Amino acid sequence: MSKLISILIGILIFCVIVVVHEMGHLIVAKKNGIMVPEFQVGFGPKLCSFKKGETEYSIRLIPFGGACKMLGEDGDSDDERAYTSKKPWARFATIFAGPFFNFILAFVLAVVVISVVGYDPCVVTSVSEDSPVSAAGLQPGDLITNFDGHRISIGRELYILFNFNELEGRSYSLTYERDGQKYSTAFIPALSRLYKLGFYYTPDEMPCEISSLIKGGVLERAGIRAKDIIIGIDGVEIASGKAFSEYIAEHPLDGSEVQFTIKRGEQTQTLTLTPEYTEAYVSGFNYNYGGREKTGPVGVLKYSLVEVKYWIVNTYKSLGQIFRGRVSADDFGGPVRIVSELENTVQESKSDGLLYVVLNLMNWGILLSANLGVMNLLPIPALDGGRLVFIIIELVRGKPVPVEKEGLVHAIGIVLLMALMVFVFFNDIRNVFFR
């Protein structure tokens, strides 16, 4: 029963995020005098409905998604309250409101989370002896505020910077604070000759989950997948990403065989792997990732904005990985996998108490809400971003694109999106239930 409740909670969170998105469209549409005949939650057959004013509010069978149906939205209409009868900026605001409300929801959730547990400052935790960055003056306890022209407010911002951009043998600028004073320096990363297994993970207090794999790497060739969890290495239990990082620091890979114990769902397996020799440039320092520090009311608002920005940037950079060929089919996930991950979050957080269950679910809410906002702003036909592109073209041309031509483009986009949804759905089923 507890598993069923966890799944229902996951579905509820997903529905709330979608409803908030559609509420953005609804509120701004009505403010601009656009008639909304129906506001629906979910798709498929209608389960129940009621009418308030001119709008029918309905709940439908399939809980993933929703719609704010505006008069004249999908075709020309002479009614003065039709969507197509309104000025371009009124239509732009109405369409943009959906993603914007998702960003607002992400911010509100971030305020709650950061008020309770704080934020994660990018504090240097260790510096390698005789490394270029040590010679440049960096010390443990320094607070990094800028790296190579990129503003750094939290440790995770530096993490995604390193994760999506490999260091090169060139000079990098670094700004940090020490005892209230600001310092600037520069260093050239050292060339490190080491052995790797070809995967990424987060060195925090959470289970050591494999976030992504390097194509052709040791783990990928061994059949390991993203989202698998490392629970042991050479017979030593690994409870978290931080524990794995500490173990590797004390027992560097040297080309000898290592035994990895992997958990996938409820199953575990132990594999014998041989690390591969690689050469890579390294920063020479470690920093806080995941450790939280309390802050005052102003700091809560500031770092809540930073949190939303972090997830927006992370989403865009992750999309860039698709075009760079670094994402496989197994990395694609939709509602089924999201609900499964939310269920896992509930189960893993139960031992820490109800408060941490709620906070972890809120963290998921921040991620998903920001992600939905970004995805809907992509200039893809049928999405909000695609509609905004046509409005911008109208503003530039001084006249709208013919309704039938815009409708055709969006119709093609809907067909392609439906095909993608079918692919993602069956990919979710395969990865969640048959892997």
Q: What is the pLDDT of residue 113?
A: 96
Rounded to the nearest 5°, which phi and psi values hold at 90?
-65, -40
Q: What is the pLDDT of residues 68-121, one digit of tens each?
A: 999 887 766 778 898 888 999 999 999 999 999 999 999 999 999 999 999 999
Q: Report pLDDT for 374.
A: 93
Give the pLDDT score at 369. 94
Residue among 171, 165, 247, 260 nearest 203 (CA): 247
In the chain, which residues have pLDDT < 70? 1-3, 6, 75-76, 321-337, 339-340, 423-435
The pLDDT tens digits for 203-260 are 877 888 887 787 788 988 888 887 889 999 999 999 988 899 889 888 888 889 999 9
Q: pLDDT value at position 389?
A: 94
User: What is the reported pLDDT for 1?
Assistant: 41
Give 312: exposed, middle or buried? Use CB within 10 Å, 0-12, 13-18, 19+: middle
DSSP state of 204: S
CB 121: neighbour CB atoms within 10 A?
Answer: 20
CA neighbor of 292 nearest in space, from 367, 359, 214: 359
Exposed/middle/buried for residue 401 (C-beta within 10 Å: 0-12, 13-18, 19+)? middle
Residue 83's identity, in one-letter code, is Y
Query: What is the pLDDT, as a whole number, of residue 220?
Result: 86
pLDDT at 3: 62
Domains of the chain: 2-117+361-433 (no CATH), 120-194+277-291 (2.30.42.10), 198-274 (2.30.42.10)
Q: How far apart are CA 231 and CA 435, in angstroms?
A: 18
